[in-house]
Each structure stands twice: as structure tokens, then as C-alpha cells.
Structure 1
Amino acid sequence: MELRLMWWNAGLSPGKGPKASGDKQQAALAVVNGLIQTHRADLFGLCEVSEADIVRLSNEFGPKGFGIVPIQDKDGQAQFDMCLLYKIDTLAFDLTSKLAAFDMRSKSKIKVGFAIQAVLLQNGEKISIVASHWPSRMQRAKDHVSRIEMSTALRDLVEQKRQEGWGRFVLMGDYNDEPYDTNLFNVLCATRDHAFASKRKDYFYNPFWRHLTGQPYDASSTNHALHGTFQYAASHEPQQSWWLFDQMMFSSEFVGEGPWHLREEDTGVANISRQVYDYTPKPTFPGKLTKSQTLFDHLPIYSTLERI
């Protein structure tokens, strides 16, 4: 038995930015459709989507056998902007719980995560999914204290759910931090050492450490190497333009004695473009898109779980 997971910051309705044009909306639908077919996704998390985007997704993928869980709740100033697409013949959902942390510096709430139990229809087993979309570094810098508060709150949420009987946790999201940053590595305890994580239930295994760099340089290759999931050429940190902000992290149950395991060779970054800036979708919808209309600044990620 397998469960294939995907995540993408589609950038359709960013909180403080302009909403996507109609052509870009159609391009995003084409991308999601292609990814579902290529990676045979059972569960697809999306962020920077609005209620109107969710209606379009539902109209597009409902007839293809997908349901949708909208995550559009508002908690104070914290507005959740996510949804989950899922195969209705594979999954159902049981319990949910959202969490927003209070930022003492700004006196405002920050969206931390949305937890939901996915039920596998084949055997009734449950897997806990926690989806997150954390503030950008333009809103809260890399070392801002609120980022530590978010990681602490996410750990507390997982621990609370464990005490309520939840297990097998998958964290997925756009964290706007890289795997080695303090709040993910030291506070959330998401390690690159799966042997260590397998022995410690308070740790997560983060396989996306190995996607911090692209393919080895090859002078004969014309392919653009990917060095993360987010490209920001105008970064205030000029030593690089790629960042690995989108990640999935797995609790010890997936790297231990089973029965569910991460199949790491089926985990990675989906290359939807030769280069993020020059992505050109297939002409499956009318109209010609300009460079600015087709700019998706995040790449999707995927993972596969298998029951042995």
C-alpha cells in the first residue's frame, strides 16, 4: 500500500500581493493536473489560495475523483490560506485542529499549522498531516523571535495530539526557513539523520536536507540545476538566489520498525520548469501567457509513504 503526497505554494492569492490573473489561474490548474498525473498524488497540499481559488480547484478536480479540504480559517490576524486535494476513493478525514501562536513582539497571532487525521479507506489506518504556511522573511526576518515561537508551538501541537492518541505525523509546508535554520533544526528537531530520528519520538526526519544543492555541475549539460524550491534573485542575502523553504518532515514511525515507511527515493522537488523564471506551460488553455503571468516562484515537492 502506498500514499503519495505533494505540496506546492501556488502563489495564486498571496496575502499582501495581487491576485493571479485568469490566465495564470488556468496555468496553475494545468500544473496541478500534470503533477497529479505524473506523481499519482493521493494528497496534494496547496497554499496561497483563496476561497475563490478553492472553488475553481473543486470544479476542476471534483469530476476527476478528488475532494477538497479548505483551510481558510481566521484566528485573530492569522489567516490560513491553504487547502488539501485528496482522492476520495483512497482517503477520508477524521479529526482536525488548527493552531495560531501569539507573537509577543508584534502583539498579533501567527498561523502555525493545521492538523488533520487522514484515514486510509483500504484498512482504516490513520496518518496525521500538519500543513503550515509561515510568514515570509520580509515580514519576519530569519532570526526573528516569532520564528522560534512558531516552531515551539508546532512541537507543542504535535505533542498535544500524541497525548490525544494521534500518531504517524507528516509535517508539510512552506516554512520560509531552510532545514539548517535554528527554528527547524534546533527547536522543531527536524534532523537529517534518519537513524537518530528512528530512536527518538520527539524528533522528525527531514529528507529535504539533501535537496539543498542541485545536480553536480556538468559543462556539457544545458539543464538548469535546481538548488531548492524557491528562487528569489533580489534576495538581501546575495550569496545565493535559491532557497529550500518547502519541506516535508516525518515522525519516527516512518523511519523505524514500521509498518509504514518513507520511501526516500520517491521524495524530492518536482521540476516543473527548466528554470522557475522561464516556465512555459503546455497550451492546454486559451491565450498566450507573458513572462510575468507565468511566474511561479516556488517549486512543488513530493514524498511517498509505503506500508510494508
Structure 2
Amino acid sequence: MFSEKNLVFAWWNTSLAPSGNSRSTVDERFMASQVIVSLITEIGADFIALGEMSDLDLIDISKICKQYGYSVHSGITKAGRSKFDICYACNDLKLSITNFKDIISKKGDSTLKIAKRVDLMSLLDGTAFHLFISHWPSRLWCEQNHADRHTFGMRLRDSFDNLVQESDKYPFVIMLGDYNDDPFDQSLSEQVMASRDIDMVRRTKHLLYNPFWRHLCKQSETHQGAGSYYYKGGRITKWHTFDQLIYSQAFLTSREWTYDHGYNLVHEMPELIDMVKNPESVFDHLPVYGKIEKVINHG
């Protein structure tokens, strides 16, 4: 059994419904359901955010999640001429959803989908957690270092700063999603201020910690993957680390909850990796996750 004194957050771009329009088959929805079961039973994920979802895909996934006591929520909402394609499942024995809202930014006649903010409460001790769940545009439509990618980063950072100003103490924030940028790209490293330097983040309140720098290459020869996203048409590299979880300083300095460094971060299901590498398969992302632990105070 998984401990009630930890929480695991996960993200997976399912590839089932780009832009929220379903293109999935029955077999693909079954495979997606098996991935989610694996996240629940093998990883112990308590909150699972899902990208590229439609209402049709959510029906099958809801049936699976409810068998494990998880509530399922549609975040498919209209944003300008497009829509958010994010849904999420929550372990109702450990977490309660207290609030949610869309974060968008207008640029000319375009609506940029920055994130969905979901506020949670731990049922163990009442601690509030704030999630910013993002699925930023593909590089096919918004190329690397495009000005809009900087705008996405700046507006996400603005949303974080606004939350900090509203809070009585430094908040527990997790940014998670498919950014279609690697950890070293400026949208994340400069605009969001997500750092790989954990010691510097501990000393510097305004920085966030991004542990996914360590997944820019193969962890060992036994690992089948070298990132979270497999671009089948890549000429120099096929693997990228576009899917990430990024943590506010509170998870490194608080006496309430702390980030657990002992996890692999990318869930390498062998059967999913085979499909991700298969040019005939729609799947191209692996799930990513992270764990936090309740700090036990002695005396």
C-alpha cells in the first residue's frame, strides 16, 4: 500500500485528442486506460493531469478511475477560437479540489492558453497545493524561441507571482504539463525562472526548482527512453524532455511537505515505449510524475 503521508502528482499527454478533438480508436482508449491504471497502481499517483483529451475519451477513462476511488474532472473549456484539452483524476481519499480557473492571455486576435490552475487541499493536514497545468503549442505551429513562447513563460510566471502576493505564506506550487520546450529553453529557464540548481533555489525565494534537467539523456543503459517525448521525425535527436513538473521553493524549505528526490520522474512502461517509438502509433509521450512527503516533526 502507498503511504497516506505522501502525495504523487503525474502528467501525461495522451495524444488521444489534439486540440480537444478526438481521433482515438477503442484500442487506443483501452491502452490509455492501462497507462492510467499503471500510474495509480505502480506509481501511486494521487493526482493525474491528462492532456489532449476529449469528452469521448474521458468516458472510458472515468470508468477505470472510479474503480480505484478517483474522481474524474473535465477541464475541456473554450478559450477564444480553440479550447483547453486538459482533464484530471483525483484520489478523493487524500485530496480535495477546492478551486479551479483558466489562465489565458490575449495577444492581438489570438488567445494564448497559459495554464489551468487547480487548487487542492490535503485531507491529511489541510495544506493547500496550487497546480498550474499547461499544454503549450507544438513547435510545428509555434517554433522554438518564437516570441509567443516567451509570452507563455512570462504569463505563467505572472500567475505564479500573483498567487505569491495573495498568500499569507510562501505557497506550495507545482507547475506541470507539456511545454513543448526543454528545461533549458528560455521560456522556462529565464521567463518562468525554473532552475536546475537546487541549492540556489533553497536560498532564493523567487526561483522554482526543475528536477527534469536530469532527464535530458538516458539515465543508464537499462533505461529504454531518454526523455518524455519521442519525435519520430527527429534528425539530430528524437527524444526531448517537454513534459515536466516544476516546484516552488516551499517544497525545499518547508517543515510541512518536502519534495522527494528518490524518484525516476519518467514512467517508462515498456509497452508504451514500444508504441511511442512505433511510427504507426499515435502515442508519442511518456507520463511524468513527482512525489512529495509529509515532514514528520519529532518532539
Fold shared by both chains (TM-score > 0.5): yes
Distance 1:270 1:79 in 2: 27
Distance 1:260 1:190 in 2: 20
Structure 2 residue 198 is matched with structure 1 residue 211:
no
Counterpart of 2:249 (choices 237, 242, 252) is: 252
Counterparts in 2 of 1:110-189, with a 5 A limit?
110-165=112-167, 167-189=171-193
What is the CA distance between 1:233 and its match in structure 2? 2.6
In structure 1, the residue corresponding to 2:8 is in which secondary structure?
strand
1:66-95 superposed Cα distances (whole Å, 9 cap, x missing partner): 002221111212411111111111111112
Q: Is the CA contact (8 Å cut-off) linking 1:8 and 1:299 kept in structure 2?
A: yes
Distance 1:19 1:116 in 2: 27
Q: Is the CA contact (8 Å cut-off) linking 1:78 and 1:100 kept in structure 2?
A: no
Partner of 1:287: none
Tell me the matched-pair count. 289
| Cα separation, partners in 2 of 1:275 and 1:121, compared to 1, 3 Å | closer
Counterpart of 1:42 (choices 43, 46, 51) is: 46
Structure 1, unpaired ranges of 5+: 218-222, 281-289
In structure 1, the residue corresponding to 2:113 is in which secondary structure?
strand
Distance 1:18 1:121 in 2: 34
- Counterpart code for 2:142: R
Q: Is the CA contact (8 Å cut-off) linking 2:20 and 2:52 kept in structure 1?
A: no
Partner of 2:263: 266
Q: Is the CA contact (8 Å cut-off) linking 1:103 and 1:149 kept in structure 2?
A: no
Partner of 2:84: 80
Structure 2 residue 295 is matched with structure 1 residue 298:
no
1:113-164 superposed Cα distances (whole Å, 9 cap, x missing partner): 0111111112211111110000000010001100000110001111112222
Structure 2 residue 67 is matched with structure 1 residue 63:
yes
1:21-70 superposed Cα distances (whole Å, 9 cap, x missing partner): 11111111111112210011111111100112122222221132000222
Which piece of structure 1 moves more, 3-12 or 260-269? 260-269
Q: Is the CA contact (8 Å cut-off) linking 2:119 and 2:129 kept in structure 1?
A: yes
Q: Is the CA contact (8 Å cut-off) linking 1:132 and 1:175 kept in structure 2?
A: yes
Structure 2 residue 86 is matched with structure 1 residue 98:
no
Q: Is the CA contact (8 Å cut-off) linking 1:49 and 1:83 kept in structure 2?
A: yes
Which piece of structure 1 moves more, 187-196 or 91-100? 91-100
What is the CA distance between 1:276 and its match in structure 2? 2.8
- Counterpart code for 2:143: A
RMSD over aligned Cα atoms: 2.1
In structure 1, the residue corresponding to 2:19 is in which secondary structure?
coil
Counterpart of 1:239 (choices 221, 236, 241) is: 236
The normalised TM-score by structure 1 is 0.88
| Cα separation, partners in 2 of 1:122 and 1:66, compared to 1, 3 Å | same
Distance 2:48 2:128 in 1: 17
Partner of 1:89: 93
In structure 2, the residue corresponding to 1:27 is in which secondary structure?
helix
Distance 2:20 2:96 in 1: 33
| Cα separation, partners in 2 of 1:128 and 1:274, compared to 1, 3 Å | same
Structure 2 residue 40 is matched with structure 1 residue 26:
no
Q: Is the CA contact (8 Å cut-off) linking 2:272 and 2:286 kept in structure 1?
A: no
Counterpart of 1:276 (choices 244, 252, 273) is: 273
The normalised TM-score by structure 2 is 0.91
What is the CA distance between 1:17 and its match in structure 2? 7.5
- Counterpart code for 2:229: F
Partner of 1:15: 19
Q: Is the CA contact (8 Å cut-off) linking 1:7 and 1:301 kept in structure 2?
A: yes
What is the CA distance between 1:181 and its match in structure 2? 0.4
Distance 1:60 1:278 in 2: 21
What is the CA distance between 1:186 and its match in structure 2? 0.8
What is the CA distance between 1:206 and its match in structure 2? 0.2
Q: Percent identity?
A: 28
Q: Is the CA contact (8 Å cut-off) linking 1:224 and 1:275 kept in structure 2?
A: no
| Cα separation, partners in 2 of 1:8 and 1:180, compared to 1, 3 Å | same
Distance 1:195 1:113 in 2: 27
Which piece of structure 1 moves more, 251-260 or 202-211? 251-260
Q: Is the CA contact (8 Å cut-off) linking 1:272 and 1:279 kept in structure 2?
A: no
1:243-281 superposed Cα distances (whole Å, 9 cap, x missing partner): 00000000000112432111011241110127734469x
What is the CA distance between 1:98 and its match in structure 2? 1.3
What is the CA distance between 1:241 and its match in structure 2? 0.9
- Counterpart code for 1:142: Q
What is the CA distance between 1:102 and its match in structure 2? 2.2
